[in-house]
Structures are given as C-alpha cells and as structure tokens.
Amino acid sequence: MTRTIAVTGAAGSIAYSLLFRLAAGAVYGQEPVRLRLLEVPQAVERLQGVLMELADCAYPTLLEATATTDPDEAFADADAALLIGAAPRKEGMDRADLLRRNGEVFRAQGAALGRSATADVRVVVVGNPANTNALIAAHHASVQERADGRRVDPSRFTALTRLDHNRALGMVAQKTGAPVDTIERVTIWGNHSNTQVPDLTDALIDGRSAPAVLADLCGGAERARAWVTDEFIPAVAGRGAAVISARGASSAASAAAAALDHLRDWTFGTNGARVSMAVRSTGEYGVPAGLVSSFPCTVDTSGAYQIVEGLVLDDARRSLLDDSVAELTAEREDAAALGFL
Ligand code: NAX
C-alpha cells in the first residue's frame, strides 16, 4: 500500500529531523511513501535543498517528494498530514497575537484538508498552540463539501503531546535506572503548554507500581510525592524551555521523533500500551466536549484510538487538570472571539 503524507513547515527545523526518517520507513516500514511538502513562498528555495537531499538519500521506500505553497495541492488524497509549520512567537507577542496569526493558518489548512485529503486522514498538529490549532483546523475541515459526499470528522485531528510523554519516560528512566521500555502507563493530561499534567500515579516500572518504586528510591512515599510534585512535573513541563536555553534553539529532533511515534502508533496500534495523545474530548474526565486535550489513549489494530476510561484522579491531579482545561477553554474562547470558530 502506498501512503501519501503531507508535511507543513517542511523547510523548518523539526521537518529536517523528520522527513528523512519518514522517507526511510520510520512510520510505514517497507510501505512506499509519497511526500507532499508545504511551505510559505519565502522558504521555497530552502525547501528545494531539502528535496535534493531526500533524492540524494536514494531511499527505496520514497516513491516521490514534491513541494508546493498551495495547501489543496499539498493535502490532495493525503492519508496523513503532519502540521508542523506555524508562525513563531516573536518578542512582545502575547497569546492572542499568536492565536490570531496561527488561527489564519490553521483555518485555511483545515479547510483544504477537509476538501482535498482522504476522508479518513490522520492529522497530527505540532505547530503551537497545538491543541487549539487542531481544534480550529478540525472545525474548518468538517464543514467542507467534498466531491465524495463524505466529511472529515473532527476526531481525525489530533495534537502532539507525545514529546511531553517521551520526556516523562526519559526522566523516569534516568531517575530509576530502569530501561525506557520497562516503563508503562505514563500519562500527559491537558494542554501542550506549561499547564500540562505529567502523571505517574498509575505508571508501572518493570511491572511494579511507579509510586512504590519511587518511594523505595527516595526514602518513603512522602519524599517520592515531593519529587513528583516539585521536580518531575515542573521538569517535564519546562523541558522545552530548558532545551532552548541550553541549545539556543527549540527541540527539533525529539519533536520529530515524537511526531513519528504518534503517527506510527495511531496507524498500526499500541498493542494495549497507553500513549498520550491530544484528541477531541467527548466529555471524558470532565474535559468539556469538543476541546482537544491530552489523554491516556490506546490504539487498536484497525487504527482507531480510544481514551482510557475509568481512572480515578486524586484531588491534586484533578486540580492541575482543571487549570489546564481552563487554559484550553480560554484559548477556545479567544479563537471564537477572533472568528476562527
Ligand atoms: P521552524 O521555524 O524551524 O520551522 C517552521 C517552518 O514552518 C518554517 O520553515 C516556516 O516557513 C514554515 N511555515 C510557517 N507558516 C507556514 C504555513 N502557513 N504553511 C507552511 N509552512 C509554514 O520551527 P520548528 O522548530 O520546526 O517548529 C515548528 C512548530 O513546532 C512551532 O510552532 C513550535 O512551537 C512547535 N513545537 C511543538 C512541539 C510539540 O510538542 N507540540 C514541540 C516542538 C516545537 O516547539
């Protein structure tokens, strides 16, 4: 089966770490891929350089790669779209300014996806504010008239919190010395912002309860809780800023790896494992319906995701999630006030 994948912001940093792995089979294995790369006119020349390098890799799995500045052309018959391109936050811009710039981008791209992509397209929004950009794009996709009479369901639009999830896994591995693949059921709840809620309550390390392992390591349950609250949660939520301050540039390779993990798991299933995905709420865990929020999810072998239900949130996590949901609600209100919803 040949897959057609659209990537926006294709001349940017994250895309430069992502496109070569995608072309080489990191998501679809031996299945051939067609890449449709979207950029703004100012970046087209840079994108030509990326196209040259893709060709120079001579990947057997890369059937074709093309570049365009037209969203309908980029998204034509797309099976998946990685929406990475977004207007960056510049000095002096507040959240409303950023939303105004990106609302335009995601309104137009959502509408083009609704018209031109396959009706079952999988959309992963990476560009910030990712959750609300996904909400805006989903809305405009779902109202488009299509030649095939179908509609793209808003649930096909997700946002990336897998990077936060992977950061949490990496930090638990470093703290405990356990290999990453023995750590399960880590969850990121809420918004991809510093209000996100990284959660280890139900996590397992080599089959043992993570809080119990941490209590042994920290010298008691109280100290373990303090480590989670005072060190782990702020470190995961602040990791993006820490990378910028150390590297002088924002996370790129890790964001690319996470976007590929997200798309691969959503396409082929998680084999029962829980991953964090920001998906459209239908009211789970008190998150108002329609918001795009991060939840613990599983994906079955048919490629359908489900939010893991029935978890009990203690007062501390409930209050943190409420704060993150309040932020998502405010972003949705701002987007509506700006005419994007
Ligand atoms: P870069 O500035 O390196 O690249 C962005 C690219 O997008 C540029 O080449 C630009 O020309 C292009 N672009 C802008 N508007 C576009 C449009 N309307 N259509 C097509 N292309 C467009 O940024 P990069 O480091 O690649 O980051 C991209 C986005 O990812 C940013 O919004 C960033 O905030 C966000 N991130 C999201 C993360 C997540 O976990 N959800 C983590 C990493 C990253 O911070």
Boundary residue ending a domain (126, 159, 192): 159
Judgement on whether residues 150 and 74 belong to the same structural domain of the protein = yes
Q: What is the DSSP letter of 287?
A: P
* Residue 29 domain flag: yes
339 inside domain: no
The per-residue pLDDT for range 262-316, each reduced to its tens digit, is 999 999 999 999 999 999 999 999 999 999 999 999 999 999 999 999 999 999 9
Residue nearest to atom 30 of ligand 1 (CA): 127
- C-beta neighbour count of 97 within 10 angstroms: 13
Q: Rounded CA gap, 195 and 132, in Å?
A: 14
Say if residue 90's pLDDT is above 90.
Answer: no
Shared-domain flag, residues 252 and 187: yes
| C-alpha to C-alpha distances, 299 to 22, 78, 143, 265, 269, nearest whole angstrom | 20, 21, 26, 7, 4
Last residue of a domain, one of 97, 126, 159: 159
287/273 same-domain check: yes
The pLDDT of residue 300: 98
Claim to verify: residue 173 and residue 317 sit in the same structural domain: yes
Asked if residue 238 has its Cβ within 6 Å of ligand 1, the reply is no
Residue 95 has pLDDT above 80, yes or no: no
Indicate whether this model's pTM tops 0.90.
Answer: yes
Alpha helices in 9-129 (DSSP H): 13-24, 44-57, 71-75, 95-116
For residue 13, pLDDT beyond 90: yes
Q: Is residue 181 part of a domain?
A: yes
- The pLDDT-based confidence of 93 (bands split at 50, 70, 90) is confident
> Considering its fold, how many domains does the chain have in total?
2
Is residue 8 domain-resident?
Answer: yes
Q: Tell me: do 192 and 304 sit in the same domain.
A: yes
Q: What CATH number has the domain bearing residue 131?
A: 3.40.50.720
- 84 close to ligand 1 (CB < 6 Angstrom): yes
Instruction: Indicate the average pLDDT of the chain.
Output: 97
148 with 205, same domain?
no
Position 88 scores a pLDDT of 79
Cα distance between residue 213 and residue 228, in whole Å: 12
Non-local CB neighbours of 167 within 8 Å, separated by 6+ positions: 236, 239, 254
Q: What is the predicted pLDDT for the residue at 289?
A: 98
**pLDDT, tens digit, for every residue of 147-202?**
899 999 999 999 999 999 999 999 999 999 999 999 999 999 999 999 999 999 99
> What is the residue range of 115's domain?
3-159
Tell me, yes or no, whether 276 and 321 share the same domain: yes
* Mutational pocket test of ligand 1: of 46, 93, 126, the residue with most ligand atoms within 8 Å of the beta carbon: 126
Structure confidence at residue 15 as a pLDDT band (50, 70, 90): very high
Residue 211 CA to residue 217 CA, distance in Å, equals 10
CATH number at residue 191: 3.90.110.10
pLDDT at position 278:
99
Asked if residue 194 and residue 138 are part of one domain, the reply reads no
Annotated binding site for NAD(+): 102, 126-128
- Do residues 116 and 250 share a domain? no
Q: Which of 93, 127, 159 is the last residue of a domain?
A: 159
Do 122 and 45 share a structural domain? Answer: yes
> Does the residue 337 lie in any domain?
no
Does 9 sit in the ligand 1 pocket, CB within 6 Å? yes
Q: Are residue 145 and residue 46 in the same domain, yes or no?
A: yes
How far is Cα 227 from Cα 221, in angstroms, rounded to an integer?
A: 10
Catalytic residue selected from 139, 140, 165, 192: 192
The percent of residues above 90 in pLDDT, for the chain, comes to 96
**pLDDT at residue number 74:** 98
- Per the domain annotation, does 191 fall within a domain? yes
Going from the Cα of 275 to the center of ligand 1, the distance in angstroms, rounded, reads: 23
Instruction: Identify whether residues 258 and 144 lie together within a single domain.
Output: no
pLDDT band at 92 (very low <50, low <70, confident <90, very high): confident
Does the pLDDT of residue 98 top 90, yes or no?
A: no
Structure confidence by residue, pLDDT tens digits, 41-64: 999 999 999 999 999 999 999 999
In a domain, 222, yes or no: yes
Nearest residue (by CA) to ligand 1, atom 38, is 126
Measuring CA to CA, how many Å separate 295 from each of 165, 187, 243, 313, 335? 11, 7, 24, 12, 22
Catalytic (active site) residue 140: no
- Residue 43 in any domain: the answer is yes
